[in-house]
Structure 1
Amino acid sequence: MPVLGAHVDSSGGLHLSYERAKAMGAEAIQVHPTPPGFWGSPKLDENRIATFKEAAAKHGHPPFYFHAVYLINLAGDDPTLRQRSESTLAGYLKAADELGVNGVIFHTGSHKGAGFEARLPSITEHLRHVLDRADPKTAKLLIENNAGLGGCVGAKFEEIKQMLAALDNDKRVS
């Protein structure tokens, strides 16, 4: 039987997303744990971790995913932006792993006219750095397609397939 999921409001605490999803009839949850238009990774402390894990257990541990900020761009030519993107994405993945969240959904960004093939080595390098920095035990990175506007990477499934192949089909990335 298919699992129905929803993007759920996480204001007031990630743990509240479970009740909100249940009220909607959702069986899988996606949240923005931080504002999607601002830099930053989820900030966790022992109390937040415990509260989240209690809520997850109470609701039977349904599939739960973070959606990373929209500012991430691992494909552009600005090294400062790529480093900030890498750091933010690694922070998301670490937080997801600490909480037992299934994964982090993200967009790889825009090549800004350089072309996908030209940027693929850089994207791959930065994704490897993210995985090395976060060293996730269970959480995965999930590359989400883009609408295809203005040089977006991942607008074609073939591009996502090539990124996964360039990462040697690392099981920590889908």
Structure 2
Amino acid sequence: MVRVGAHTSIAGGVYNAVEEQLEYEGNCGQIFTHSPQVWQDPNIGDEEAERFRDLTQDNGVAPWMIHTSYLVNLCTPKDDLREKSLDSMQKECDAAAKLDVPYVNVHLGAHTGAGVDGGLDNAASVLDELDVPDGVTILIESDAGSGTKLGGTFEELAGVLDRSEQDLDICLDTAHMFAAGYDLSTPEGVAETFDEFDAQVGLEHLEYVHLNDSKHECGTNKDEHAHIGEGLIGEEGMRAFVNHEAVADVPFVLETPTENGKSFAWNIQRVRELREE
């Protein structure tokens, strides 16, 4: 059974994310613990955490993943931003443990002049200071690679895994990979991309996928998501990706738009149709 779900809201209580997921007929998912645009601590009470855990278990919605704040920058050379990022990451990891959520997903961020090696060194040093609870794994997300942002290449993803003492794994984002220059629009391109990921990083590190189509051409570094099969990755590429043996047991979470009369429910169903074909 394919594991596919959506990024859902915790508005009104974190347990509402499970209820929303069920409305979309998703069976795994992703949440923010607070607005991703601000520095804010997760504020999840014991009762709502218990309700989230119970709803998750009773309805078989798993695995969940927490996505960290967009302000977190692991690669930064700036001491104040480094400390804020470290503090925010620690609190997200603690929230994951409280909710029995196994994954915390984070972008590496931008090196802003420190250089690729300096940025990766900075990221590893932040990650190594974290006290990651048992049962929680940090996932490094692949990036679209614009500006000085790192994580757009598999070499950079491997670089931070090699540098860090933490047991890190990877969340690949299809739209980000496509924007960064990995052509997923054909079966041949998908196969080549997985082969390269395996050679550079190792498929054993692939724990989750953000499954999104792209509104922009391959290699443009532009990150804008489209409905599954209706962007420039397209139906052929998406079908090849979701049926590739490398992701046979890897969960997919969608961050597709709600537009043109199509929502998460439509996209989740489309993934299931492509997986079955």
State the TM-score, normalized to the length of structure 1: 0.90
Secondary structure at the counterpart of residue 22 of structure 2: helix
Runs of 4+ in 1 over 3 A off after TM superposition: none
Q: Which residue of 2 aligns with 1:119?
A: 119
Q: Is the 8 A contact 1:41 1:89 kept in 2?
A: no
Match of 1:167 among 164, 168, 172: 164
Q: Which residue of 2 aligns with 1:154?
A: 151
CA shift digits 1:86-135 (9 cap, x unpaired): 100110001101210021111121001321112222211110112x3xx3
Q: Which residue of 2 aligns with 1:141?
A: 138
Secondary structure at the counterpart of residue 81 of structure 1: helix
How much is the aligned-residue C-alpha RMSD, in angstroms?
Answer: 1.5
**What is the 5 A alignment of 1:83-94?**
83-94=83-94
CA shift digits 1:134-161 (9 cap, x unpaired): x311011111112111110111121111
Q: Which residue of 1 aligns with 2:60?
A: 60
Structure 2 vs 1, CA of residues 129 and 173 (structure 1 numbering), >3 Å: closer, same or farther? farther
Secondary structure at the counterpart of residue 104 of structure 1: strand
CA displacement at 1:173 relative to structure 2? 4.2
Q: Which residue of 2 aligns with 1:38?
A: 38
CA distance, structure 2, for counterparts of residue 65 and residue 159 of structure 1: 22
CA distance, structure 2, for counterparts of residue 2 and residue 48 of structure 1: 28
State the percentage of identical aligned residues: 28
Q: Which residue of 2 aligns with 1:2?
A: 2
Q: Is the 8 A contact 1:74 1:108 kept in 2?
A: yes
CA displacement at 1:76 relative to structure 2? 1.3
1:129 matches 2:114: no
How many residue pairs were aligned?
170
Q: Which residue of 2 aligns with 1:11?
A: 11
CA distance, structure 2, for counterparts of residue 172 and residue 162 of structure 1: 11
CA displacement at 1:172 relative to structure 2? 4.8
Larger radius of gyration: 2
State the TM-score, normalized to the length of structure 2: 0.58
Greater mean alpha carbon deviation, residues 52-61 or residues 143-152: 52-61
CA displacement at 1:2 relative to structure 2? 2.6
* Unpaired runs of at least 5, structure 2: 171-277
Secondary structure at the counterpart of residue 141 of structure 1: strand
Secondary structure at the counterpart of residue 106 of structure 1: strand
CA displacement at 1:11 relative to structure 2? 1.1
Aligned residue type for 1:65: M
Q: Which residue of 1 aligns with 2:200?
A: none
Q: Is the 8 A contact 2:14 2:44 kept in 1?
A: no
CA shift digits 1:53-98 (9 cap, x unpaired): 2222221252111111000011112100011001001100011012
Q: Is the 8 A contact 1:139 1:172 kept in 2?
A: no
CA shift digits 1:15-53 (9 cap, x unpaired): 111111111121111011200101123123322222222
